[in-house]
């Protein structure tokens, strides 16, 4: 269904439109975690998230007729930004994006910078997705799925390809998991190059759809998540990611809201990196001892930087108070 050649092709297609992000060793985080920590800085990606890789690769695969119909997508925010960027990159392509009414203000403000139509719909990704399906049927536009699409997954898989090209001796990769497009693409790329590398997914306790999917042997395509600052990871785990890479994922671990908030603060304080909750869950898992990787070379993917300033200030303040007490 998806192989290394597809991801290599995606890398060639994306080369001029996305950033090949840095893979940086962190001495301080390595000391804290007891392993060799390398950070894959997708928080520095165009639009502030890895999602642009999949969106651009999917749009690149479309025919001129499909592009001319216009694009539509549903997203918690980062994929919407990716689709808006892809529409602009390919020129004269219109895009309509459906996002939940509670989408982070930082992502909505970024969307205003693109020439796309933003529709606030529903209280979750699933509700926005259902509204998108109705819109597509009425207007006959081309749908760009956030994760349940082979072209999208191939684009996300270029993250794993870059990791293995830059650090072929990597022993484990910690991947934030929501719908599953990123971990599926990374698993295919990384395991093709080194079958021994461990692929470990990390989810918030508030939305354990991937954890349940692998445990029970079926994809939980919709999941009513509890409130979480990792909004980009809330909801179900896609059928196509499950079919493509369910057997390649070694483990899924869960982290609490408190652990995610602590990771956001630690990345800011010790690595001077602004990372949203969804992007910080890998560090949360390491610092909370949720994975046993002592002494190993571990890549942690920081998937995005689009955190609301008010939330970041709140996290900084609460940790300052904890230190004073």
Helices H / strands E in the chain, number of each: 14, 10
pLDDT of residue 126: 85
Tens of pLDDT, residue by residue over 110-127, are 888 888 898 998 888 888
- Write out pLDDT tens, residues 234-265: 999 999 999 999 999 999 999 999 999 999 99
Report the pLDDT value the prediction gives residue 211, as an integer from 0 to 100: 98
Q: Does pLDDT of 320 surpass 80?
A: no
Q: Do domains 4-50+150-324 and 51-143 have the same CATH topology?
A: yes
- Give this prediction's pTM: 0.95
pLDDT for the residue numbered 177: 98
C-alpha span between 142 and 132 (Å, rounded): 11
The CATH number of domain 51-143 is 3.40.50.150 = no
Share of the chain above pLDDT 70, in %: 99
Per-residue pLDDT band for 325 (boundaries 50, 70, 90) equals low
Domain ranges of the chain: 4-50+150-324, 51-143
DSSP 225: P
Sign of CA dihedral 263, 269, 272, 276: positive
The Cα–Cα gap between 194 and 169 comes to: 9
Instruction: Give per-residue pLDDT as tens, 28-76.
Output: 999 999 999 999 999 999 999 999 999 999 999 999 999 999 999 988 7
Q: Which residue has the higher pLDDT, 214 or 1?
A: 214
Q: Which of 3.30.365.10, 1.10.287.610, 3.40.50.1820, 3.40.50.1100 is the CATH number of 4-50+150-324?
A: 3.40.50.1100
User: What pLDDT, on a 0 to 100 scale, did the predictor assign at position 112?
Assistant: 86
> What confidence tier does 17 reach under pLDDT thresholds 50, 70, 90?
very high
Q: Is the pLDDT of residue 315 over 80?
A: yes
Per-residue pLDDT at 324? 65
- Measure CA 79 to chain center: 9
**Mean pLDDT to the nearest integer, 202-219:** 98
Q: What band does 166 get if pLDDT is binned at 50, 70 and 90?
A: very high
Tell me the per-residue pLDDT of 70-103, one tens digit each, with 9 for 90 and over.
Answer: 999 988 789 999 999 999 988 779 999 998 888 8
Overall average pLDDT of the 170-190 stretch: 98
Cβ atoms of 98 and 121 within 8 Å: the answer is yes
**Residue with tokens 């934030």, as numbered in its chain:** 176
Q: How many residues in total does the chain contain? A: 325
Nearby residues of 248 by Cβ (< 8 Å), 6 or more positions away: 184, 187, 188, 191, 199
């Amino acid at each position: 269904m998806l192989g290394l050649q597809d991801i290599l092709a995606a890398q060639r297609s994306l080369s001029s439109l996305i950033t090949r992000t840095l893979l940086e060793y962190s001495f301080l985080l390595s000391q804290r975690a007891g392993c060799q920590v390398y950070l894959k800085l997708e928080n520095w990606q165009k639009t502030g998230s890895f999602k642009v890789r999949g969106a651009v690769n999917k749009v690149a695969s479309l025919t001129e007729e499909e592009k001319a119909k216009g694009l539509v997508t549903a997203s918690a925010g980062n994929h919407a930004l990716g689709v808006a960027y892809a529409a602009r990159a390919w020129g004269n392509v219109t895009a309509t994006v459906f996002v939940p009414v509670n989408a982070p203000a930082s992502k909505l403000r970024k969307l205003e910078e693109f020439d796309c139509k933003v529709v606030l719909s529903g209280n979750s990704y699933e509700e926005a997705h259902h509204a998108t399906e109705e819109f597509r049927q009425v207007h006959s536009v081309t749908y760009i799925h956030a994760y349940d699409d082979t072209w999208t997954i191939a684009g996300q898989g270029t993250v794993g390809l870059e990791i293995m090209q830059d650090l072929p001796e990597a022993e484990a990769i910690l991947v934030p998991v929501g719908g599953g497009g990123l971990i599926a693409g990374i698993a295919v790329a990384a395991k093709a190059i080194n079958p021994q590398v461990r692929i470990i997914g990390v989810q918030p306790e508030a939305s354990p759809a991937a954890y349940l999917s692998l445990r029970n042997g079926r994809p939980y395509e919709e999941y009513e998540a509890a409130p979480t600052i990792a909004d980009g990871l809330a909801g179900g785990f896609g059928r196509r990611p499950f079919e493509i890479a369910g057997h390649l994922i070694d483990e899924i671990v869960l982290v609490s809201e408190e652990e995610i908030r602590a990771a956001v603060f630690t990345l800011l304080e010790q690595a001077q990196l602004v990372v949203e909750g969804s992007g910080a869950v890998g560090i949360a898992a390491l610092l909370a001892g949720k994975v046993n990787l002592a002494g190993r070379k571990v890549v942690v993917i920081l998937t995005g930087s689009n955190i609301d300033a008010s939330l970041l200030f709140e996290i900084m303040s609460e940790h300052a108070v904890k230190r004073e007490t």
